[in-house]
């Protein structure tokens, strides 16, 4: 059975894995779309393999793996060639730094985005609160600090930490643009990442699709709330 990556183009974690697959040239992995808005990841077959019911998920027939960060590490360790070693070096300190950035992505940056996504998807958010925006900007400040000594998030070369973080950022910048004067290093890093072939092919359009979709849902919620109020 060929390997299958269950994904959604708008999903930041899925885009991170998709970019790595592109870099590694893993053409044998079928990429199969799921619609998270329709909760297609809740289908019994998917739920059995991935109790978290999250996207992305890698299915190799007799082995299933969820969480984009775990999937990327697995794919690199299984399929990575010497020329890919900089993406996740064997040096323990370099790897620890990358891991820390990955944990920041899943534990802080993506959680700040999830705080917007969750109420939006269930029709309870008409616009982002000041607290939501403040928390996202605070995360930008941390990323700016990470770039104080390196060109990229964990070193002077691109690693999987950059893939994870830029996938989340591609959605966030559509909601809260980067202030170039306040965060010049973050702005330059984001521009540099967007010049890569894999970001052009996968991440830029996917991030725009996601942020545009979130904003459209907020507008729809606002419209229906106003209609409901006007009828009272």
Domain residue limits, the chain: 4-84, 86-230
DSSP H or E stretch at residue 200: none
**Tens digits of per-residue pLDDT, 121-143?**
999 999 999 999 999 999 999 99
Beta-sheet pairing, 57-59 with 30-33: unpaired
Query: Cβ(84)–Cβ(76) under 8 Å?
Result: yes
**Count of residues making up the chain:** 232
pLDDT tens digits along 97-124: 999 999 999 999 999 999 999 999 999 9
Question: What is the fold of 86-230?
Answer: Glutathione S-transferase Yfyf (Class Pi); Chain A, domain 2 (1.20.1050)
pLDDT band at 218 (very low <50, low <70, confident <90, very high): very high
| Cβ-based neighbours of 70, under 8 Å, separated by 6 or more | none
State yes or no: cis peptide before 56, omega within 30 of 0: yes
8 Å CB contact between 160 and 85: no
Nearest to 14 by CA among 208, 214, 206: 206
List C-alpha distances in Å: 127 to 110, 153, 209, 225: 18, 30, 18, 12
Q: What is the pLDDT of residue 155?
A: 98
pTM, entire model:
0.94
**Rounded-to-integer distance, Cα 29 and Cα 24, Å:** 11
- For residue range 38-88, what is the model confidence (pLDDT) as tens digits? 676 667 777 778 777 789 999 999 999 999 999 999 999 999 999 999 999
- As assigned by CATH, the class of the 4-84 domain is alpha beta
Q: To 10 degrees, what angle do helices 160-175 and 92-104 make?
A: 20
């Amino acid at each position: 059975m060929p390997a299958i990556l269950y994904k959604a183009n708008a999903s930041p974690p899925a885009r991170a894995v998709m970019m790595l697959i592109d870099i590694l040239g893993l053409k044998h992995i079928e990429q199969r779309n799921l619609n998270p808005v329709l909760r297609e990841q809740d289908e019994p077959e998917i739920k059995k393999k991935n109790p978290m019911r999250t996207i992305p998920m890698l299915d190799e027939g007799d082995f299933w793996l969820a969480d984009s960060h775990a999937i990327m590490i697995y794919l690199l360790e299984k399929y990575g060639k010497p020329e890919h070693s900089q993406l996740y070096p064997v040096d323990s300190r370099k790897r620890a730094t990358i891991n820390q950035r990955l944990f920041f992505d899943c534990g802080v940056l993506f959680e700040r985005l999830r705080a917007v996504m969750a109420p939006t998807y269930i029709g309870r958010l008409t616009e982002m609160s000041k607290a939501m925006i403040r928390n996202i900007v605070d995360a930008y400040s941390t990323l700016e600090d990470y770039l104080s000594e390196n060109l990229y998030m964990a070193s002077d070369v691109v690693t999987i930490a950059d893939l994870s973080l830029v996938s989340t950022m591609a959605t966030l910048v559509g909601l809260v643009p980067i202030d170039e004067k306040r965060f010049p290093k973050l702005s330059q890093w984001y521009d540099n990442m967007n010049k890569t072939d894999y970001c052009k092919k996968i991440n830029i359009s996917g991030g725009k699709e996601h942020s545009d979709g979130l904003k459209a849902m907020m507008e729809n919620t606002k419209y229906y709330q106003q209609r409901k109020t006007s009828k009272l």
